[in-house]
Amino acid sequence: MELPPATALPSQSPGHQIPDALITDILFRLPLSPCTVRFRCLSKSWCDFLTKPSSIAKTLSSSASPPDHQFLFEWIERTENRSVRFHSWHPSDTPERIQMPFDPAKPRRPDVRFAGCCNGLLCLIQWDGKQDDPILWNPATSETKIVPPSPFERRSDCSSSAIGFGFDPESNDYKIVRPLYIESCCFRSLYFLEIYSLRNDSWTKLDDFPSLSSGNIPQCRMGKLYWWRLSGERTLVFDSFDVGREAFGKVEVPCPNSEKEYNTPVCLLNEESMVAVFPDYNGYEDTDEDDDEFEGRRERRSSSWEIWVMLKYWVPESWTKLYVVTSPVDMTIEYCAGISRNLRFFFAAFSSDLMNEKGYYDGDHGLVTFELETGKFSNVAGIQGTRFEVVTNYVPSQVSLQN
């Protein structure tokens, strides 16, 4: 890939031009930020070069190595309005709060939830108490796009859950997949599926499709969205949706651990392997959740957490136990909040000195990371809340939301 024939920069004399190949390499190695986006303004040729899909693809590839990974947190703070916060964090830095975008047309500040992250683009869901409206956001360029409302009518008892956000590499298109359910006191059934295309800036509808899992935020890998759930005692079920072909699939894989846990964290690492964290509740002490004096939260008292990797997709025999994580003496792990693609594990934990005499914790969670190489925990400074909703991989990019 070559930089287009560029005019010499003002400070360069004809005999002292920087080679185009060197400029290209420098541009791809720079950390992506609003500052680097301004390089588009230097000339039309630079703008065309930096916004070409092939250039963006190479930048994403260069930024995807483990040392450049950042992680995005969403958590609920213990405040009167249970405010949600997003923070970006690199292992070598302190967390940085990200100012979330809001639709100025909304009469009041809506609740915002995370629906997915793909190639540096975030899909957020605004909820104003009546409807959920998607918004696309690139934090690196501060660019946002308010997704137009769906034109399809829905029943009054219809609600959405587990909205997915994925990328189709064949058509270079980003899509939002919104399953809609009918709620009642006795059942919950899938109604229809809405699909938004960023390239076409429009919605389509699917009526004929199988049931989808609804307990986890789906992940997008290799052009497919994956929802997962545990079924029965030893089955991990993956419902998939091909973003380009708009076709469904389903795979059931025996679990290496028999413990039931609906929200088992799963990370699809690459084209071949995935990793999962299963809790082991041997020795778990049950408590009365209806206690009128309960003001904190229940202690899970998991004795350990097993980290397993499936070295080849959908081949049960390739399950391999990597590690058994046990809580340190000075803290109690409550749940796994997320897994990074370079095998960094995030756990929500309580300090042991916050436990009261009834076995409840009165304080907020802290977020800790576990490193497989060292077998040690470390605190993520400045991160505390009542609940960590998502920890996800995030690589800044210059992907544009404008057509």
Mean pLDDT of 88-92: 70
Q: Residue 86 burial (CB < 10 Å; 0-12/13-18/19+)?
A: buried
pTM over 0.85: no
- Which residue from 281, 167, 287 is spatially nearest to 219, judged by alpha carbons? 167
Tell me what pLDDT residue 1 has. Answer: 44
- Which residue from 357, 355, 383 is spatially nearest to 369, judged by alpha carbons? 383
What residues contact residue 256 under an 8 Å CB cut-off, 6+ apart?
Answer: 278, 306, 308, 319, 321
H/E stretch holding 175: strand 173-183
State the pLDDT confidence band at 198, using cuts at 50, 70 and 90.
very high
Give the number of other Cβ atoms within 10 Å of residue 70's Cβ: 20
The number of C-alpha atoms within 13 Å of 192 and in the hemisphere containing its C-beta is 12
102 or 343: which leads in pLDDT: 343
Is 158 a residue whose pLDDT tops 90?
Answer: no
Per DSSP, the chain holds a count of helices (H) and strands (E) of 4, 27
Mean pLDDT of 69-80: 57
Give the number of other Cβ atoms within 10 Å of residue 187's Cβ: 8
Cα–Cα distance for residue pair 211/298, rounded to 1 Å: 32
Strand order across the 247-254 sheet: 219-221, 224-231, 235-242, 247-254
Structure tokens at 278: 């299963």
pLDDT per position as a tens digit, 231-250: 766 777 888 888 888 888 88
pLDDT per position as a tens digit, 205-226: 887 766 666 667 788 877 888 8
24 or 8: which leads in pLDDT: 24
Question: What percent of the chain has pLDDT above 90?
Answer: 6
Tell me what pLDDT residue 131 has. Answer: 72
Tell me what pLDDT residue 387 has. Answer: 64
